[in-house]
Amino acid sequence: MLHSLRFLAVCSYFRCLSDIAKFSAIIRSNMKIAVVYNRESKRVINLFGIPNQERIGTAAIQRIVEALKKGKHQVRTFEGDKDLIENLEEFMPQVIKGERPGMVFNLSYGIQGQARYTHIPSILEMVGIPYVGSGPLAHSLSLDKVVTKMMLRQRNLPTPDFAVLDSPGFECPVLPYPLIVKPKNEAVSFGIKVVNDEAELHSAAGSIFERFHQPVLVECYIKGREINVGLIGNSPVEALPPCEIIFGKTGPRIYTYEDKTGKSGRRIEVECPAEISPDQLDEAKRLALTAFNALSCCDCARVDMRLDENGNFHILEVNSLPSLGEHGSYVHAAQAAGLDFSRLVNRLVEVASVRYFGMQAPNFSSRRGKQTTSIFNYVTRNRGRLEKTLQKWVQLSSRSGDYIGIYNAARRASEVMSELNLLPVKELTDNHNTWAWQSGAGLEDGTLLIAHLDVPLSEQSPPASFSIEPEWIYGDGVATSRGPLAMLEFALRSLNSIRLMRRKKLGVLLYGDEGLEARHSMLSIRQAASKAARVIVLRPGLAENTLTIDRRGQRFYRFIVEGKPTRIDNWQKKEDVLRWASSKVGEFSNMSLNLKRFNIGALKLETNSLTMHLPHRVNATLLMSYADESDANQVEDGISERLKGRHPFNCEFTRFSERPPLRRRRNNSKLLQEFREVGEHWDIKVNEQSSAWPSVAGLVPATVPVVCGFGPYSKDLYTPQEAVNRLSIVQRSLLLAGYLAEKG
């Protein structure tokens, strides 16, 4: 009869668990899970308050990590201390709409202070990170044993009579002996003891006051059997098979801290399923589920009960953070229900995922079709790979003028394009300054993507190493060049993953002289842009959520003034070349005072002089920034006129480089609107912006729509501290790939 009851109990739990078997539909692969615990860390600002005395073993942590890895998750472990937010943000940065965030597997007992179990869940809720297990409210209620018993009584749930001792000078409660004595706000059986008279009560309570500095809970000792009921899930919550704690013949018939840590010298066994009748089984489940819900527990808990000699249950406490130790009753119960340790750990992740995200498949990214959904999945599930791609580009040095470095960068780009089945375009490739590829459908009337291979920083600027912070990624040229290249590569890989590459009219042009104002690549860029139906220039994003459709142009001039060498002791008798040249530069600047979005000034000034002589030659580089070409021509002609005629020195004023402006026009705004439509679905905002900095977008014919600044949002451009925003590089990769799939 007894074996039949056990069999029926196990079958019952298998049926219950089959109701949540659909949880396994929740995606497991590539989910980032941080296992957070407290063990030895003292990383706090100050150490004071009630210290945590619970410790989780390294072997137990490692078992959980290995179980999660079997579930195909990306796993890292962190101490739950003051560095936790920064560590988590680096490991699982902010997500975009529709992307499943990472999750914390919470094992944290807290470091110090009251309601320590609540500390990590509170932090996680504050910063918006999902986690496995109960929230702050449930932990706070269940850790306070007196509050727990009051709430159980309120729900008419049976719990032993009790009293609270607030200070050492207490009056003995009117309760029948024997009594159980325990700290009011501790766990894992700290300080628990059975007392049989007033002397033992004063002694046991005094030890708790001295060690734990908190009130003492005194409750009636229930003779009988100890039954534990583990729970898993939320809606519905399922009760695992009850376990019975089998005590040895010696020692108290309670589960002490010494028993749990193997220091008592006696052997405690767990029998599961417990040998109880079907009616008792139903009652144990009912009581456990009601207590679970009364304390607002989530995902998992363990309810400890006593079954007295008359067959009645009495709830002792609710463990909102049940032990996952291999000898614990919760793990035994899961095994009896058909869940080995690995499946149990991953089931906990699944039920937490359902609680946060619902029962639907994890990809709730797109209602536009399988293609954009697949692109979304590819980009968001490979964020780590995207950052690795960026790191590879950063570590490949190619400063402007470093032709070997630029050649190596072009060779890497060629390897990537070959993997993606893009074909070289010979007439646009000179293997020195420009390299171009196109899809099997060709570039004609398609989308042209433009980026540059050189890092436009001077050789004197110290190289910055690659590093990742919670919000920003740093490295040499990470914003000016490498961020756009990485997102370009990743967007194309996502297209290729759904076999769209060959069917799309698409071209890629990379140039290697951005630091030289694209002087040598200019003609190839114009030629390629004239073939395309639209052009996207991957310069760095200058502001969050913006694309650029209006840029100023730039002209560079060489202004040379030369006279005869003058001894320093004769400087007052003759005109000074340097002062005269400087005054002329000031005059040139004043010519633009009444013009909007126009500036001209000296970018660089060099002098030549003999020993003990004033400079006899000034070589100045002037920079003109303009929005309207007619204004630029007007000022340029005015300068030329002023320099005609007789002067005390020989003058030369020559334009040697120009970057045309990108004028605001209707077709650019229409292209921007198409990006807005793609971005709206993922809450990726796309606003327009004007920029005083020029780009090769100004080389695109007026009949061809173009947007610029499509690279990730960046800061501190052209400095060793430049950085790209981690979220932005994902958003822009997704936006570019989504546009190419949907509209390009």
In tens, the pLDDT along 117-149 reads 999 999 999 999 999 999 999 999 999 999 999
For 224, list phi and psi in degrees, rounded to 5.
Answer: 150, -155
CATH of span 553-659: 3.30.70.360
Q: What is the pLDDT of residue 729?
A: 95
Confidence of residue 86 (pLDDT cuts 50, 70, 90): very high
Predicted TM-score (pTM) of the model is 0.78
Tokens of 347: 């089931």
Which CATH architecture is the domain 141-337 placed in?
2-Layer Sandwich (3.30)
In tens, the pLDDT along 361-389 reads 444 344 456 788 888 889 988 998 999 99
Topology of domain 31-131, per CATH?
A: Rossmann fold (3.40.50)
**Is the separation of the CB atoms in 484 and 451 below 8 Å?**
yes
d(CA 664, CA 708): 12
**Strand pairing class (714-715; 546-551):** unpaired
Q: Can you tell me the mean pLDDT for 584-607?
A: 88
Confidence of residue 570 (pLDDT cuts 50, 70, 90): low
d(CA 192, CA 217): 10
Q: What is the mean pLDDT of the chain?
A: 88
Which CATH architecture is the domain 371-545+705-742 placed in?
3-Layer(aba) Sandwich (3.40)
Tokens of 382: 């490979």
Confidence of residue 438 (pLDDT cuts 50, 70, 90): very high
**Is the separation of the CB atoms in 37 and 77 below 8 Å?**
yes
% residues pLDDT > 70 (the chain): 91
Q: Helix, strand or coil for residue 379?
A: helix
- 210-224, 367-381, 720-734: least confident range: 367-381
**Domain spans, the chain:** 31-131, 141-337, 371-545+705-742, 553-659
Whether the predicted pLDDT of 466 surpasses 90: yes
Q: What is the pLDDT of residue 25?
A: 42
In tens, the pLDDT along 230-282 reads 999 998 999 999 999 888 776 667 766 556 666 556 777 889 999 999 999 99
d(CA 709, CA 671): 13
**Is the separation of the CB atoms in 480 and 456 below 8 Å?**
yes
Count the neighbouring beta carbons within 10 Å of the beta carbon of residue 170.
18
Q: What is the pLDDT of residue 115?
A: 86
d(CA 269, CA 198): 32
**Is the separation of the CB atoms in 682 and 727 below 8 Å?**
no
